[in-house]
């Protein structure tokens, strides 16, 4: 009888948790729409890179520096985002970030040289950097911890759809206009979305915690914090770092037409959308640590093959590599939310993510571009694949805070 009662109570608890999660899907989707604009704006230079490189007469390494400046700008404001959200609240911080992003993109559309382009993209990175800590704090406050994996998987629809949309939007605009109109379009969309977000979003009506010496001391003395910096750097390399240089790699070393290369890259991200949900389910079932171990091993192998594959099979590897790479983020953000006390969560995000994006989204493209100028893109990508595979070892060392 006791077992029957316990099973019934457990079933009722699970039903209540599931019902609570379903009620939060609407607010999660609203936040996800802002993330879509935020992420698409930062990766749009990738499909435009061949055209920008030609128009501005840049080397491969110069083109790689454009992504470094986005990452540095992202780093600067992401580090200080806690100061903003502690004065405003998380909802207003998200709206301010999106509005500033719209203006920064419009300014970038009028840049005409390497350094002005770097400055414009630096501003894009700065505007985008305020978003993520407030978004993660809002999500994890809306959803029971048992459903964090699924909630973050929904949120991760945004970058996965961005990887599909950015090449398609770019090629669609380039049929009639120049790459500058792509930035104008994205900036206008961001400015339109800000008041819609403020009107219809829910959650985030609480202030963040500004970084202080006490909080920084607790995090810096936590080995799992530094492990997460390393793991997120490798996760960003496997997705954004490879993605940013992939069009140039396919065009310059495999002789694929730019339009076909961007279309191929966009289509390769379609199955990845479903894989993000699978990763969220796996994270809730077997835990983020085990999920990360499997993801890093397989992603490392696929990335190595992406650089090693001959032209006759490269298109197949382009489809396979992102399938597993995107699985990092639901497990990664869930793990990040577990390495420290809840009050330190937004601070952990504001420190880990910018460091990871500077390495994975900034330094990695420069490294791949530099190796591409000196030797070949393939060699740079294979080295990245080896480093990513090593992440499986470090994921096993993570220790989580008791919730």
Q: How far apart (Å, rounded) are the C-alpha atoms in residues 159 and 162?
A: 5
What is the distance of C-alpha 172 from the center of its chain? 24
Report the C-alpha gap between 295 and 282 in whole angstroms: 11
Q: d(Cα 314, Cα 131) in Å, to the nearest integer? A: 35
* CATH 1.20.1250.20 fits domain 26-395: yes
Looking at 269-399, list the stretches that DSSP marks H as alpha helix, in order from N- to C-terminal side. 270-286, 288-308, 314-325, 328-336, 345-357, 364-374, 377-395
3-state DSSP of 197-215 = HHHHCCCCCCCCCCCCHHH
Task: Give per-residue pLDDT as tens, 354-382.
Answer: 788 788 877 888 888 888 778 778 888 89
CA 119 to each of CA 31, 65, 341: distance values in angstroms, whole numbers, following the listed order:
28, 11, 37
The label of the residue with tokens 């790479």 reads 325
Q: Residue 72: enclosing H or E segment and its boundaries?
A: helix 60-79
- pLDDT for the residue 14: 46
pLDDT for 163: 76
Residue 313 DSSP SS3: coil
**CB-based contact 272:163 (threshold 8 Å):** yes
Return the pLDDT at 5. Answer: 44
Name, in order, each residue with C-beta under 8 angstroms of 221's C-beta and a sequence gap of 6 or more: none
Give pLDDT tens digits for 282-301: 777 777 788 888 889 999 99
pLDDT of 3 = 46
How far is it, in rounded angstroms, from Cα 90 to Cα 132? 10
> What is the widest separation between alpha-carbon atoms in the chain?
78
Give me the residue label for tokens 């709206």.
Answer: 95
How confident is the model at residue 301, as a pLDDT?
92
- Note the pLDDT tens digit of each residue in 130-156: 887 788 777 777 776 666 667 777 777
**Which tokens sit at 149?**
């994996």
Dist CA 281 CA 51 (whole Å): 40
Q: How far is CA 400 from CA 34, 225, 227, 288, 375, in A?
A: 30, 10, 12, 10, 42
* pLDDT value at residue 8: 46
Whether this prediction's pTM lies above 0.75 is answered by no
Q: What DSSP string describes 389-400?
A: HHHHHHHTT---
Can you give the pLDDT at residue 103? Answer: 92
Q: What is the pLDDT of residue 380?
A: 87
Domain ranges of the chain: 26-395
Residues lower than pLDDT 50 in the chain: 1-17, 403
For residue 122, what pLDDT is reported?
92
């Amino acid at each position: 009888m006791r077992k029957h009662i316990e099973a019934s109570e457990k079933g009722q608890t699970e039903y209540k948790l599931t019902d609570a999660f379903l009620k939060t899907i609407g607010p999660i989707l609203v936040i996800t729409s802002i993330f879509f604009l935020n992420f698409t704006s930062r990766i749009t230079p990738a499909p435009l890179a061949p055209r920008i490189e030609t128009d501005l007469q840049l080397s491969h390494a110069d083109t790689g520096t454009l992504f470094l400046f986005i990452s540095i700008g992202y780093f600067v404001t992401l580090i200080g985002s806690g100061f903003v959200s502690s004065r405003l609240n998380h909802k207003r911080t998200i709206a301010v970030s999106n509005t500033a992003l719209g203006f920064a993109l419009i300014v970038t559309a009028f840049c005409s040289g390497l350094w002005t382009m770097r400055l414009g993209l630096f501003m894009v990175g700065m505007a985008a950097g305020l978003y993520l800590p407030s978004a993660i704090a809002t999500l994890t406050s809306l959803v029971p911890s048992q459903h964090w994996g699924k909630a973050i998987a929904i949120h991760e629809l945004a970058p996965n759809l961005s990887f599909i949309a950015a090449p398609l939007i770019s090629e669609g605009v380039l049929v009639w206009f120049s790459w500058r109109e792509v930035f104008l379009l994205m900036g206008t969309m961001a400015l339109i979305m800000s008041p819609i977000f403020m009107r219809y979003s829910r959650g985030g009506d609480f202030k963040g915690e500004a970084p202080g010496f006490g909080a920084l001391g607790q995090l810096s003395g936590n080995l799992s914090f530094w492990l997460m910096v390393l793991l997120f750097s490798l996760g960003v390399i496997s997705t954004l770092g490879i993605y940013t240089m992939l069009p140039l790699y396919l065009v310059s070393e495999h002789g694929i037409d730019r339009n076909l290369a961007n279309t191929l890259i966009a289509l390769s991200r379609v199955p990845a959308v479903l894989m993000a949900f699978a990763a969220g389910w796996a994270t809730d079932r077997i835990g983020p640590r085990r999920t990360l171990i499997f993801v890093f091993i397989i992603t490392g192998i696929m990335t190595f093959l992406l650089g090693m594959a001959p032209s006759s099979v490269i298109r197949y590897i382009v489809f396979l590599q992102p399938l597993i790479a995107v699985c990092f983020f639901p497990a990664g953000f869930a793990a990040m939310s577990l390495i420290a006390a809840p009050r330190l969560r937004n601070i952990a995000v504001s420190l880990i993510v910018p460091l990871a994006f500077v390495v994975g989204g900034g330094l990695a493209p420069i490294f791949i571009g530099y190796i591409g100028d000196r030797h070949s893109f393939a060699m740079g990508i294979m080295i990245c694949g080896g480093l990513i595979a090593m992440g499986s070892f470090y994921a096993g060392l993570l220790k989580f805070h008791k919730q």
